[in-house]
Amino acid sequence: MAKHIKKTDQNKAWNRRSSTARAYNMESRAVHDKRFLIICEGENTEPQYFKSFPVLSAKIEAFGMGRSKTSLVEQAIDFVSQGEYDPNQEVWIVFDMDVNPLKELALQRNDFNEAVRLAQSKGYHVAYSNDAFELWFLLHYQLLESALTRVEYYERISQLWGLSYERHGKGIQFCRGVYNRMLEDPTASQEAAIRHAERLHQQQVDLPASNQNPCTTVYQLEKSLNEHLR
C-alpha cells in the first residue's frame, strides 16, 4: 500500500527523499567515494553552510528539518530508513541546545542529552552546539570560554561582519555565502576554529552534553569534510 502523505508535507525534506533516494543512491555510488548525509535542525544556516564545502571525492546531501533535539533525531531515523544502505555513507545530525528561558531548563537538558544518546545508538555522528551553531562561526575569530546566549552570539557576529546578523543572517542566499566569507576573511581561520572547538570539547568531555557550554562538536564534521576538499 502506498504511503499517504499530507498535502502540507509533500515538499518536506523527508518526503522529497522518498521519491529521489534511489536515483541519488545510483548516481553517488558511481561518482563519489564518500557520502555525507547531514540532517540539520536549522532550515538554512547549517545545511547551506555544509553544502558550500568544495568537496571532490565526496557527495554532500544536507537537509534542514525545522525540528529540534530528540524530535529531529526521530525524524532523521525515519528519513535515513527511506534510503538504500551504503557502507560509505556517514550520517550526521546537527542541532543546538538553544535554551528557551520560558521552558524548564531540566527538561531541555534531558531532551538534548537524549537526542545525543539516541543518534549515537543508531551509529550516527552528532555535531551539537551549546548554546548555538553560531559559536562555530565565532571560533574562527577567537577562543570563547564564557557561556553566551544566542542573542549575544548574533551581536558579536554582527560586529565582525558589519551587518545585522539577526536580520540578514538566516536568508538562504546569505547562508550560502558564509563558508566563503570566512575563507576569504584574513581575520578568520578555520584551522583556529577547529583548534578552539577541540579544546573546549576536551575540557568538558566528561560532562553531559547539555552541561558543556560553550561547546561545539561541529569541528569533528568539519575535519571529516576537509579530507575530501578539492
Mean pLDDT of 105-131: 97
Model confidence pLDDT, tens digit, residues 166-224: 999 989 999 999 999 999 999 999 999 999 999 999 999 999 999 999 999 999 999 99
Q: Cell digits for 40?
A: 540539520
Q: Helices H, strands E: what count in the chain?
A: 11, 5
Q: Is the four-CA dihedral 204, 161, 60, 171 of positive or negative sign?
A: positive
Q: Is the four-CA dihedral 112, 203, 89, 181 of positive or negative sign?
A: positive
pLDDT at 3: 40
pLDDT at 32: 58
Higher pLDDT: 146 or 2? It is: 146
Three-state DSSP at 29 gives helix
Mean pLDDT of 56-70: 93
Mind listing the domains of the chain with CATH numbers? 7-226 (3.40.50)
Separation between Cα atoms, residue 207 and residue 115, nearest integer Å: 15
Neighbours of 60 (CB within 10 A): 18
End-to-end CA distance of the chain: 44
Model confidence pLDDT, tens digit, residues 75-113: 999 999 888 778 889 999 999 999 998 999 999 999 999
- Whole-number mean pLDDT of the chain? 88
Global confidence as pTM: 0.84
What is the DSSP secondary structure assignment for residue 216, as one 8-state letter?
E
**Phi-psi category of residue 162: left, alpha or beta, with phi > 0 → left and psi -120 to 50 → alpha:** left
pLDDT at 96: 95
pLDDT at 62: 96
Lowest mean pLDDT among 10-19, 30-39, 84-93: 10-19
Separation between Cα atoms, residue 24 and residue 99, nearest integer Å: 36
Model confidence pLDDT, tens digit, residues 151-171: 999 999 999 999 999 999 989
